[in-house]
Amino acid sequence: MACANGSHILIVDDEAGILRGLSDLFGTEGFIVHAEQTLPGALRVADDYDLDIAIVDIRLKHAVSGTALLAALKERDPELPVLMITGYGSVESAVEAMHLGAADYILKPIDNSHILDKVRKHIELVRLKHDNLYLHGELREKYCASDIVTADPDMLHQLQVADRIKQSNAPVLLCGESGTGKEIMARYIHFTSNRKDRPFVCVNCAALSESLLLSELFGHEKGAFTGAFEKRLGKFELADTGTLFLDEIGDMSLEVQAKLLRVLEQSYFERLGGSRSVSVDIRIISATNKPVAQLVKEGKVRADLYYRINVVQLMLPPLRQRRTDIPLLADHFIRLYNRRYNRKVMGVSDAVMRAWMAYHWPGNVRELQNVVNQGVLLSASDQIELLGVEYPGGSSQAQPKRLFDPQRDESLQSFVKQAAGEIEKASIEQVLKESSFNQSKAAAILRMTRKTLAKKIQEYHIPR
């Protein structure tokens, strides 16, 4: 059941006795009560506070009916639940009020526990609607450690750190090249933390213009700018009690950064065009594929913001620095796409896997995922035979593109041997370079013994 603590309730009744009784009841239950006897007073409250619920007597004196107040409240905030209080004689007008948007009605004489239950239920309904709307949009999935596939010591260390800090509210900054798994890590942290049943809301800071980003983050009041026909909640409010994932944080303008910093420092903000403060309880996870410390030096990212979001930093290594993950991830994605396309691909041909092991994967895990997707979809046998990537030799197939040329090549056999040699040499050179010419490491990546590698280095005259 929803917690009433701090919920704003407006109670409107022209009978002072009822008003006092209800105010006491909700006050002792932890609500912030705004009690009013007249329509203008009620509307002033609605303008000044972010109400969670309203209770309105259907028969107000002073010439205006409760239904007129209902209409005015709904016009200001179509989502506000309004409960109508009605006497036995006026059930019909209560039904009419329901047609006009009242959430429910309560018969006099008022039963305290009944009215409390109804109010709590409607507050909870709003919250559920709120969460569902946005959680569905964000493709909510449960995450567990096994969803992040890795056997790389560096990645495992990052996961350990994530596990250690996930229950705290400490801001996390995820760094890593595009496609290294920043978003999957953010989801992992959220969905395995104690906020897992609360919203996980993403904002891509690079995809929006400055003004759009501001209204996306902070929301706006009706009429805040041309085109703001309705009040709109920003992602800060939507993520309340959950996690806000700020993606591509390096692309925010300095003005947005200043506003963001203020919210992070104070835990409250105002919607655009509004003056009321909205307070939020949010865990911030941000991500960037740019060298953010460098951006700070260049004055593109505010240093004070950087210090605030960078309490815990996780650095996700590029795929070319954790090549042992390539076969593991390939298996993982083969299973995924077998399910999706109803295929029965068992694995990857040796030739293709060797080439993948040597490839530099500029698009990282996402690129591998796409290549496997294509491979599973197009494979004619139970193995992926399609290389799917631009090989350093310039071909996207496992075989070199340069075809047999009788003028140049002695025989098909010698042509194939030479082409294979070129691919082997290029692969070894690349892996050596990436492992800083550490031959043991390179040999492990290439899945050959150190001795064989040393022989090939000599054979191909690869400089050391």
Ligand X SMILES: Nc1ncnc2c1ncn2[C@@H]1O[C@H](COP(=O)(O)OP(=O)(O)OP(=O)(O)O)[C@@H](O)[C@H]1O
Read off the tokens for 130. 């709120």
184 binds ligand X (CB under 6 A): yes
**What is the spatial distance between Cα 333 and Cα 325, in angstroms, rounded to a whole number?**
12
Question: At a CB cut-off of 8 Å and minimum separation 6, what does 213 contact?
Answer: 203, 205, 252, 253, 256
Nearest residue (CB) to ligand X, 55 versus 172: 172
Helix (H, G, I), strand (E, B) or coil at 250: helix
270 binds Mg ion (CB under 5 A): no
Nearest residue (CB) to Mg ion, 206 versus 328: 206
Q: Which of residues 114-143 bind ligand X (CB under 6 A)?
A: none
Residue given tokens 């996700």 in the structure block = 316
Binding span for ligand X by CB under 6 A among 80-88, 179-187, 192-200, 416-424: 179-187
Nearest residue (CB) to Mg ion, 128 versus 207: 207
Read off the tokens for 94. 């209560």
Nearest residue (CB) to ligand X, 99 versus 142: 142
* Residues 317-346: b if buried by 16+ CB within 10 A, e if exposed: bbbbebbbbbbebbebbbeebeeeeeeebe
Number of residues that bind Mg ion (CB under 5 A): 1
**What is the spatial distance between Cα 39 and Cα 121, in angstroms, rounded to a whole number?**
25
CB of 416 to ligand X, least distance (A): 35
Q: List the beta bridge partners of residue 123.
A: none
Residue 294: in which H helix or E strand, if any? helix 292-297
* Contact status, residue 45 vs residue 10, Cβ threshold 8 Å: yes
Nearest residue (CB) to Mg ion, 107 versus 208: 208
Radius of gyration over every alpha carbon of the chain, rounded to an integer in angstroms: 31
Binding span for ligand X by CB under 6 A among 48-56, 122-130, 228-236, 363-371: 363-371
Nearest residue (CB) to ligand X, 66 versus 181: 181
Number of residues that bind ligand X (CB under 6 A): 17
Binds ligand X by CB under 6 A, chosen from 292, 365, 371, 431: 365
> In 10 A of CB 254, how many CB atoms?
12
Nearest residue (CB) to ligand X, 181 versus 199: 181
Binds ligand X by CB under 6 A, chosen from 90, 369, 383, 435: 369
320 binds ligand X (CB under 6 A): no
| CA quadruple 152, 154, 155, 161: dihedral sign | positive
Nearest residue (CB) to Mg ion, 183 versus 429: 183
C-alpha distances (whole Å) from 226 to each of 208, 222, 235, 274, 295 are 18, 10, 20, 15, 34
Q: Which residue is nearest to Mg ion (CB)?
A: 183
Cis peptide preceding 317, ω within 30 of 0: no
CB of 312 to ligand X, least distance (A): 17
Residue given tokens 């490491």 in the structure block = 441
Calculate ∠ Cα 234-53-218, nearest 5°.
10
Nearest residue (CB) to ligand X, 140 versus 222: 140
Return the one option of ligand X, Mg ion, none that residue 379 interacts with (CB less than 5 to 8 A, by type): none
Return the one option of ligand X, Mg ion, none that residue 242 interacts with (CB less than 5 to 8 A, by type): none
> In 10 A of CB 433, how many CB atoms?
12
Distance of CA 291 to the CA centre of its chain: 21
Half-sphere exposure of 301 (CA within 13 A, CB side): 21
Q: Which of residues 8-67 bind ligand X (CB under 6 A)?
A: none
* Contact status, residue 319 vs residue 364, Cβ threshold 8 Å: yes
Binds ligand X by CB under 6 A, chosen from 74, 259, 366, 402: 366
Binds ligand X by CB under 6 A, chosen from 23, 37, 169, 178: 178
CA dihedral 29→32→35→38, nearest 10 degrees, is -140
Q: Which residue is nearest to ligand X (CB)?
A: 181
250 binds ligand X (CB under 6 A): no
Binds ligand X by CB under 6 A, chosen from 69, 106, 148, 330: 148
**What is the spatial distance between Cα 277 and Cα 249, in angstroms, rounded to a whole number?**
24
- What would the x/- binding string for ligand X be over residues 287 to 316, using CB under 6 A? --x---------------------------
Binds Mg ion by CB under 5 A, chosen from 138, 163, 183, 424: 183
Which residue type sits at 278? V
Nearest residue (CB) to Mg ion, 80 versus 185: 185
138 binds Mg ion (CB under 5 A): no
CB of 342 to ligand X, least distance (A): 20
Q: Which of residues 272-291 bind ligand X (CB under 6 A)?
A: 289
Nearest residue (CB) to Mg ion, 183 versus 385: 183
Interface with ligand X (CB under 6 A):
148-150, 176, 178-184, 289, 329, 332, 365-366, 369
Interface with Mg ion (CB under 5 A):
183
